[in-house]
Amino acid sequence: MPDKSPCASDEDVKEMQHENHYSHTNKDQAFNQDVRNRVHPKIDHNRTKMKSIGDKTFTFQDSVLTTLYRIPHVNTMYNMFLAAFILMTGTTALHSYVTKGIINFGQVTINRGMRGFWRGAGMWTIMQAAVVLAYLGLKFWGSVRLALSKNPTFRQVWDSICLWAFALFQISFMVAVINGVIQMDLACISAGSILIEMIRMIMKMYAFIRTNAVRILNGELKIDSSTKSSKEHRYPSLGQFTYYMFAPTFIYRDNYPRTSKINLNFALCRLLEVVGVTFFLANIHERFIEPNFQNFGKERITPGDLILKIFSMDLPALLICLGVFYCILHSWLNFTAELLRFPDRIYYKDWWTSHNYSGYYRNWNLVVHEWLYEYIYKDALHYVFPGSKVAANFTVFVVSAVMHELICSVAFGFFFPVMFVLFAGFGVFFMFISKSMNRTVGNIFLWCTLAFGNGLMVSLYAMEIFARINCVADKDSSFSFWVPVVFSCNGLS
């Protein structure tokens, strides 16, 4: 599998276009066709049923942007963004030195946001150890169930007990992590990282239990040496479970294909991108968010000025959205995949070309989309709302929105359901109305609404944060977490 990156030299980029599996007589056309096939995979229109995500085959394929970067024109655009980042960081440092007398490249915001990082790292280690209980618990359930094979009544009771025990374990795990984040007083970046890891582990545990529990119930999993059927699989080893817990996929397999070696240059470039995007986001915070809203609540402001401030955040907020996407779904997942020699790196598709919200939601985050489809959508469609695709889709949106809002609420330290309303409310509404738009109008509508929606969300969260800093409030009150301050302390005149 090719593993070059934008960090390569010009000669390397040119060499990428002439892979030995392309035709020697028509290399440029073959390369362009390969790019089109990767970005727009062929669809079998004769299929009458959607293939189950659970039947997914993991293959050797690069991320869309990794493939596109092999085109010199696209690689030049990457260099342009890199140059813009360097200039923006330098301007921020110069502005900070002139106005405050200190040189700040964004590290002030990062240090403030990562307060309690090492305490969080210790907590993350404990979380990793706790996850092993799910692995051991499933094996224990299967062993006891096998011993009760001659007593169906007791076995059914045992199944029910273990099902409720697993649900209780998942809930307890979540409550313990949230309580730990609050008690350790982690800053928003540290808290958000731990909470994202919490959701990731819960999703991974659920997929592992769900996949192997079905195999145990069907008699397809070999728990111990007493089983003799040649059709049975051995119970996954702890090494297989550990690899899955870190692999950049939520679909469980006993084994995954592996690349032949680790390209350290590729991995280092992706890690540097993570660091670079982090500083880029910190610069946006210091140059746009703080100047606009840091005095919110302690100075008079007219409704017109407030509207201008919110609209002025559209472009910075869109850059934040793109930065988070690139940092997590491209750079970090590719970095992890390279270290683990994980070959299937289609974590997203060309969502930026979508002309409706359905395509955007499907292609934005394939890693989570696969899990939601397999374990939420299909169960809702088959068992909760039989035959109702609309209800099943809405269930997926609600579950996703609740998880996003949970992360934001705990990380920021207050409940202000802006993301939930935008995601599960306007997001669902836009999904339906954008279906009838043509490609050009639909794509423009998508980008305009993404910019405005993210600008509104960032503005409202920023106003609430600074209102809580600038206004006198009873922070010890049991209602302080649930009641937004922005409506009572806003300085509007």
What is the arithmetic mean of pLDDT over 456-466?
92
pLDDT at 389: 84
Q: What is the pTM of this model?
A: 0.84
Beta strands in 106-232, from DSSP E residues, in sequence order = 221-222
The answer to whether 416 and 409 have CB atoms below 8 angstroms apart is: yes
Task: Tell me the per-residue pLDDT of 251-307, one tens digit each, with 9 for 90 and over.
Answer: 999 899 999 999 999 999 999 999 999 999 999 998 899 989 988 888 888 888 889
Q: Quick one: how far is CA 221 from the chain centroid?
A: 31
How far is residue 254's CA from residue 236's CA, in Å, rounded to a whole number? 6
Phi, psi of 250 (to 5 degrees): -105, 0
Residue 145 lies in a domain: yes
Residue 50 placed within a domain: no
Position 33 scores a pLDDT of 52
Of the listed 40, 45, 369, 404, which one is catalytic? 404
Domain range for 230 is 117-246
Task: Examine residue 486 and state whether it is found in any structural domain, yes or no.
Answer: no
H or E element, residue 458 = helix 439-470
Residue 163 lies in a domain: yes
Q: In three state form, how does the secondary structure of 365-426 look?
A: CHHHHHHHHHHHHHHHHHHHCCCCHHHHHHHHHHHHHHHHHHHHHHHHCCCCCHHHHHHHHH
- Burial code (b: 16+ CB inside 10 Å, e: under 16) for 21-57 equals ebeeeeeeebbeebbeebeeeeeeeeeeeeeebbeee
The two structure tokens encoding residue 447? 């980008």
* pLDDT at residue number 386: 86
Q: Model confidence over 69-126: pLDDT tens digits?
A: 999 999 999 999 999 889 988 888 888 888 888 888 888 889 998 999 999 999 999 9
Identify whether 424 is part of a domain.
Answer: no
Residue 201: inside a domain: yes
E-strand stretches of 257-296: none
Residue 373 lies in a domain: no
136 occurs within a structural domain: yes
Q: What is the arithmetic mean of pLDDT over 466-471?
A: 87
Residue 225 has pLDDT above 60, yes or no: no
Q: How far apart are CA 245 and CA 233, in angstroms?
A: 20
Task: Return the amino acid letter for 141.
Answer: W
- The total of structural domains in the chain comes to 1
Nearest residue to 194 (alpha-carbon basis) of 124, 113, 111, 278: 124
> What is the C-alpha separation between 39 and 63, in angstroms, rounded?
9
Look at 46-50, 187-191, 199-203, 280-284 and tell me which has the smallest mean pLDDT.
46-50
CB 340, CB 247: distance < 8 Å: yes
Our answer to whether residue 355 is catalytic in this structure is: no
Strands (E), 173-273: 221-222, 233-234
